[in-house]
Amino acid sequence: MEQAKIMIIEDETAIADLLAYGLTKEGFETRTASKGSEGLEQIGQFRPDLLLLDWMLPDVSGLDICKMVTEIYNIPIIMLTAKSDISDKISGLEFGADDYITKPFDMREVIARIRTILRRWSQTNRPVDSAGDETIRFMDIKIVPTERLVTKNDTVVELTPKEFDLLMTLYNYRGKVFTRTELLDFVWGYDYFGDTRTVDIHIQRLRKKLDANDLITTVFGVGYKFEKQTVSRP
């Protein structure tokens, strides 16, 4: 099996070296950068499977890097932060991060979170049947699952990896009411370390990007569902 590649953008040399050493021992291929601009350049060359991104960088904010990466690439992001306030963590998720780890951290926790995200990523990107090769159309929205491409009125809608996974989960079970915990299990994995507020944040972003308040609805006191629609395939 090909090694998973992890990009580390971290300005503290001791932490970057610790992460690179620990992940290499676990069989990952790693590359490090101490500045955001350098990291962005290396991402294009290295094409990592996952990004470990420090919140505080000397040249560019980690949040800005997170936003730029999710607009260009289709890779999961874990934020590394010394900030423990929940509002700061939510900000990271709103900018496109899939998870966050608070410093100081245990290397075993970092490895567990990386493996969890990569496992879920592999599962959600594995074709289930031939239907996944077909374009899905409903209302003014089009989805090409194999390309992870979503358009609205023929304009590309930039979704983060988790936003796309959430959309496909809801769509594939349209009409089913999901609790927040169930969506965490389906999209993030049963051993995800976050809380159900993560689901609310991603639902809000998905609705806004797709202008789909009437499509992805809230079932008060329970959770969310994707309304049944007439769907066409080519």
Distance of CA 85 to the CA centre of its chain: 21
- For residue range 154-212, list pLDDT tens digits in order: 899 988 888 888 999 998 888 889 998 888 877 876 555 566 788 898 899 899 999 98
**pLDDT > 70? residue 95:** yes
Whether 226 and 175 have beta carbons less than 8 Å apart is answered as yes
**pLDDT > 70? residue 87:** no
Query: Can you tell me which residue has the tokens 């932490």?
Result: 15
What percent of the chain is modeled with pLDDT above 70? 85
**pLDDT > 70? residue 130:** no
Whether 120 and 129 have beta carbons less than 8 Å apart is answered as no
Mean pLDDT score of the chain, rounded to an integer?
84
Task: Note the pLDDT of residue 181.
Answer: 85
Structure tokens, 153: 């009125």
φ and ψ at 60, to 5 degrees? -130, 140
Number of other CB atoms surrounding residue 18 within 10 Å: 16
Structure tokens, 145: 């699952």
Q: How confident is the model at residue 129 (pLDDT cuts 50, 70, 90)?
A: very low
Q: How confident is the model at residue 125 (pLDDT cuts 50, 70, 90)?
A: low
- For residue range 98-109, list pLDDT tens digits in order: 888 888 899 998
3-state secondary structure (DSSP) of residue 50: strand
Q: Which domains does the chain have, with CATH numbers?
A: 5-125 (3.40.50.2300), 130-226 (1.10.10.10)
- For residue range 31-61, list pLDDT tens digits in order: 999 999 999 999 989 999 999 999 889 998 8
Task: Note the pLDDT of residue 131.
Answer: 43
Omega before 104 cis (within 30°)? yes
What burial letters (b/e) apply to 76-91, b meaning 16+ CB within 10 Å?
Answer: bbbbbbebeeeebbeb
3-state secondary structure (DSSP) of residue 66: helix
Q: How far is it, in rounded angstroms, from Cα 82 to Cα 167?
A: 31
Number of other CB atoms surrounding residue 59 within 10 Å: 13
Whether 50 and 76 have beta carbons less than 8 Å apart is answered as yes
Query: Can you tell me which residue has the tokens 């000397």?
Result: 58
The H or E element spanning position 51 is strand 50-54
Q: How far is it, in rounded angstroms, from Cα 22 to Cα 42?
A: 20
